[in-house]
Amino acid sequence: MKTLKDRIRAQIETAGPMSIADYMALCLFDPDEGYYTTRQPFGADGDFTTAPEISQMFGELCAVWLYTAWKESSAPKTPVVAEIGPGRGTLMKDMLRTWAKIDPAFRKQMRLFMIEASPRLSDVQRRTLGLPEGEVAWIADLDALPEGPLFIVGNELFDAIPIRQYVKVGNAWRERVVGLDAEERLAFMAGAGSADPALLPPGANNAPEGAIVELAPARNALMARIAERIGRKGGAGLFIDYGYASPAPGDTLQAMRGHAYQNVLKAPGKADLTAHVDFSALAGAAKERGLTAELMNQGDFLIGLGLLERAGRLGAGRNATEQQAIRNDVERLAGPDQMGTLFKVLAVTPSTVAVPPFASAH
């Protein structure tokens, strides 16, 4: 039985080196051996832990933000509420519980959708949510959503969408590809393709030989589709991921397996491949469609929505060990040395809708 690595090697021998984007797509989404199609990546037993798995407080505060966005949008009837790339379903489970507490009428009238391409993960999400048939629908693509104002959340969605890389060779930027070295092993090399100079980050011209820049047209295209829908029908989007506020040369492609980093080319399909998100590009895609796009660090976002107060209420009446665990969760989610600054939150809304804690007046 040929492994995914064998098949990638054979494809390169036949068709030549492949782009980083094609390599990522095969590693993550191959039907037989792709990471997301065959594995349980989330949580302590998986390869990484996401914010909703750390504490229920994360989902509760995201729920407060989306609910406020709905209210600020004049509380439209039967809103379309969706999560894209829902992982195990933990975030949506916490959000649904929160909405049922703060406004049962909102919870009852929403049309709920989980946008998930993996049948295996869809099954996991069904078990997590445990909702009666008909209360939630699973769809594979954004286009399957019904008409109406859309309130959508995506946590660690964009980092797994494949990127392209370009490497500085002389005065040119050549596409970085995966080929075979003299020993027939997978190896990075400079390919024939080149980058559109208009898309390169500031300072690219002065970058040294061998420097790498990352462009993510597939990510920008997805954000453009979401923004176009919100611009047309109303709603709001909340996207949380790790990345940078403004682009610069650098290689952020990484492989994570068993909560540890490993060589990106070592075990295709067995490790999670991600790259940091260029939030300025995503914000630009939303702004081009007439929306407001505002960014802040995850720590500032959560604290601005009442993380510390929520932690205090959650810890009331608990023993010292439980209270310390809650404090530790707060530190992981919002601490400057942990997820608080590396992770960013992008809010996408019509220009007429302002939702705290994003401060700018519209």
- Render pLDDT for 83-103 as a digit per residue (tens, 0 to 9): 999 999 999 999 999 999 999
The mean per-residue pLDDT over the stretch 62-74 comes to: 98
Name the phi and psi angles at 299, rounded to 5.
-60, -45
According to CATH, where is 3.40.50.150 located in the chain?
37-162+215-301+331-350
Residues forming beta bridges with residue 215, ordered by sequence position:
164
Per-residue pLDDT for 362 more than 50?
Answer: no
For residues 288 and 281, the answer to whether their CB atoms sit within 8 Å is no
The mean per-residue pLDDT over the stretch 303-312 comes to: 96
**CATH T-level topology, domain 37-162+215-301+331-350:** Rossmann fold (3.40.50)
Residue 93: enclosing H or E segment and its boundaries? Answer: helix 90-102
Q: Which amino acid is at 41?
A: P
pLDDT at residue 270, as a whole number: 92
Q: Mind listing the pLDDT tens digit for each residue in 156-187? A: 999 999 999 999 999 899 999 999 999 999 99
Per-residue pLDDT for 133 more than 90?
Answer: no
Which residues, including other chains, have CB under 8 Å from residue 244's CB and lie 6 or more apart? 276, 277, 278, 279, 344
Q: Mind listing the pLDDT tens digit for each residue in 220-278? A: 999 999 999 999 999 999 999 999 999 889 999 999 888 788 999 999 999 999 999 99
Per-residue pLDDT for 361 more than 50?
Answer: no
Confidence band, pLDDT 50/70/90 cuts, at residue 57: very high
